[in-house]
Structure 1
């Protein structure tokens, strides 16, 4: 899919994808290709996962 504009999440990188759920334009960093969702929608689809994490296990106390 061809999209143009800035990522609507970080507002600094070129958008490359559009979220299948909400239509948000997202850069590669803020798009979950496996789910075809932006980071915000992916976080809602996978409760407990931080959409901005580097997939590193972090324990918060």
Structure 2
């Protein structure tokens, strides 16, 4: 998921440099959503692992 967030971020940067504002904005929005979704799932996974006693 983090990979796809980075891919959309790079697409947004390239589109922004080339002057495609609409595509850049849409790609940046998708990248932002994917990044925050990754963060939420990462935090949930860490909390679940700690709750199970997986930290050694």
State the TM-score, normalized to the length of structure 1.
0.23
Greater helix fraction, Structure 1 or Structure 2: 2
Higher relative contact order (CA 8 A, sep 6+): 2
State the TM-score, normalized to the length of structure 2.
0.24
Greater strand fraction, Structure 1 or Structure 2: 1
Q: Which has the larger radius of gyration?
A: 2
